[in-house]
Amino acid sequence: MDVIKVTDVTKSFKVFKERSSTLKDRIIFRRKNKYEAFLALDNVSLTIKKGETVGLIGRNGSGKSTLLKLLTGILYPDNGSINMTGKVSSLLELGAGFHPDFTGRENIFMNAAILGLSKKQIKSKLNEIITFSELQEYIENPVRSYSSGMYMRLAFSVAIMVEPDILLIDEVLAVGDAAFQQKCMEQLMKLKSKGTTIVFVSHDLGAMEKLCDRVVWINKSKIVDEGKPRRMIDKYLTYLGEEENKRLIREDEDISNNLEELKVDEIKEIELTQDITNETTSLTEHETVDRWGNRNIEIIEVMFTDENNNKKIGFMSGDFMRIVIRYKVNHSVNSPVFGLGIHTIDHINCYGTNTYIDQYPIGNLNANDNGEISFTITSLDLVANTYLVTAAVHDINGNQYDYHDKRFSFKVSSTVSDVGIAKLNHHWINENSREES
Ligand SMILES: Nc1ncnc2c1ncn2[C@@H]1O[C@H](COP(=O)(O)OP(=O)(O)OP(=O)(O)O)[C@@H](O)[C@H]1O
Ligand SMILES: [Mg+2]
């Protein structure tokens, strides 16, 4: 049986563009505030069956809370319809539904009454609610003096003790301490096993996977996909990773543009100095401050990819990483050597090698050949930082065909905060012995 049915729902908000600055302005000019309609939910349809636990995931501002508010009835849709069957209890924004000047106990009565319990029913549940919230010491204090975690404890305890048919939860659990969060999860599992329908919004994807039967992914006001939690979470994380990559590429381009500008200035400065000292040397056609060589072989692109050859700039420490050098041969050469160097942003050399050191002979390359040489790192054991990469191709004696000095960059993030440059493969052992007395 469908207990939640959302059909073609659209919801927009007025976003005011400019405000009259003073009261005088408003009175004299009677200027109307200009606004634009912002579409927070765009033609959304969703059906939830009795007893299902459905998670909503999506980036900040994608429309999850708006959907929950529509389900609760705090907001009304512009178009479309919403049908809810059964008693709905909701945990939306923190403190919503509480009166700040009333005590915790008084708020329990008010809240439970709003949720449809009689005074007698509330009295019989009161102790259970207070015990669950662990707020015995504070229950006679006005809730205005509560911390956000305490607010949440009270709201959660009331919301679940009224035994709703449908429970809507938006994010709030995150403010609870680890022990209370654990307790909430256990309680939600219990409700789930009793057949309560739950709609759960959270950025805690672990909790999402543990609790939900189905996950709905909302992006930019639309439902983009729904399905089994693991699959949806993977898809969503892949999307987030791609978005992060795009951002890093944009940032990288900005940095490169700034560097280009800087370089032009630097070159001008060099030329200026040379004029002053009357020296004859100047940068040749093929030389800039960070690239030189005769271009018999030309490096045309250096990119970083994952194992599926997708371009990436952001990596996690320990990730697979491939550095791909694309080149073009302008004049035939014998046995060229390709090399790579990795440096920290403050120019500390982390590692460098080349095909000669690694005994990987390239052979002879003919004019007009195009090629790609890749350098695979199965585990990128660097600590979190931004790294600069030098790529070069030269002859066996080190005469450069094309040398790109720290012209490429990638970023490493890590889930741990170890320090230094390289993550050394390691483990700890503690052997503790006590002298027998
Ligand atoms: N009352 C409002 N007035 C104007 N705009 C609003 C209002 N409520 C929400 N919005 C806008 O609607 C969009 C969706 O907001 P919503 O709160 O539903 O996002 P969300 O998915 O819950 O995000 P988060 O993960 O940050 O909680 C946002 O761009 C938000 O600014
Ligand atoms: Mg929200």
Q: How far is the CA of 154 from the centre of ligand 1 (A)?
A: 25
d(CA 185, CA 202): 12
Q: How far is the CA of 72 from the centre of ligand 1 (A)?
A: 15
Q: What does the pLDDT profile of the chain (437 residues) look like in tens digits? A: 899 999 999 999 988 776 656 767 666 666 566 778 899 999 999 999 999 999 999 999 999 999 999 999 889 999 999 999 998 988 887 666 788 899 999 999 988 888 778 888 888 989 999 999 999 999 999 999 999 889 889 999 988 888 899 999 998 888 888 888 888 989 999 999 999 999 999 988 888 888 999 999 999 999 999 998 888 887 887 788 778 777 777 776 776 666 566 555 554 544 443 343 333 334 455 667 788 889 999 999 999 999 999 988 888 889 999 999 999 999 999 999 999 999 998 888 899 999 999 999 999 999 999 999 999 999 999 998 889 999 999 998 888 899 999 999 888 888 777 888 899 999 999 898 887 66
Q: How far is the CA of 64 from the centre of ligand 2 (A)?
A: 6
Contact 149, 175 (CB under 8 A): yes
Per-residue pLDDT at 171: 84
- Domains in the chain (CATH in brackets) are 2-239 (3.40.50.300), 293-424 (2.70.50.60)
Which bound ligand lies closest to the C-alpha atom of 59? 1
Q: How far is the CA of 365 from the centre of ligand 1 (A)?
A: 58
Atom of ligand 1 nearest to the CA of 14: 4
Per-residue pLDDT at 366: 96
Tokens encoding 206: 């672990």
Give the bridge partners for 333, in sequence order: 365
Task: Specify the pairing of strand 34-49 against strand 2-18.
Answer: antiparallel
Q: How far is the CA of 15 from the centre of ligand 2 (A)?
A: 17
Per-residue pLDDT at 412: 87
Tokens encoding 111: 């809240």
Name the closest-CA residue to atom 27, ligand 1: 60
Atom of ligand 1 nearest to the CA of 67: 18
Per-residue pLDDT at 67: 96
Element housing 298 (H / E): strand 297-305
Atom of ligand 1 nearest to the CA of 15: 4
Per-residue pLDDT at 200: 94
Among 11, 60, 171, 221, residue to substitute to test ligand 1 (most atoms within 8 Å of Cβ): 60
**Which residues form ligand 1's pocket by a CB distance below 6 Å?**
13, 15, 38, 40, 58, 60-66
Q: How far is the CA of 255 from the centre of ligand 2 (A)?
A: 33
pTM of the model: 0.63
Question: Which residue in the block uniquely carries the two structure tokens 């195009």?
Answer: 370
Name the closest-CA residue to atom 11, ligand 1: 40
Tokens encoding 166: 């449908």
d(CA 185, CA 258): 49
Among 15, 64, 217, residue to substitute to test ligand 1 (most atoms within 8 Å of Cβ): 64
DSSP reduced 3-state for 421: coil
Atom of ligand 1 nearest to the CA of 68: 18
Question: Which residue in the block uniquely carries the two structure tokens 């230094």?
Answer: 420
Q: How far is the CA of 401 from the centre of ligand 2 (A)?
A: 55
Among 15, 42, 66, residue to substitute to test ligand 1 (most atoms within 8 Å of Cβ): 66
* Three-state secondary structure string covering 65-92: HHHHHHHHCCCCCCEEEEEECCCEEEEC
Q: How far is the CA of 61 from the centre of ligand 1 (A)?
A: 5
Atom of ligand 1 nearest to the CA of 203: 25
Which bound ligand lies closest to the C-alpha atom of 57? 1
- Write the single-letter amino acid at 129: I
Atom of ligand 1 nearest to the CA of 56: 21
Tokens encoding 176: 């609870």
Task: Specify the pairing of strand 314-316 against strand 321-329.
Answer: unpaired
Name the closest-CA residue to atom 12, ligand 1: 40
Q: How far is the CA of 388 from the centre of ligand 2 (A)?
A: 38
Which bound ligand lies closest to the C-alpha atom of 56? 1
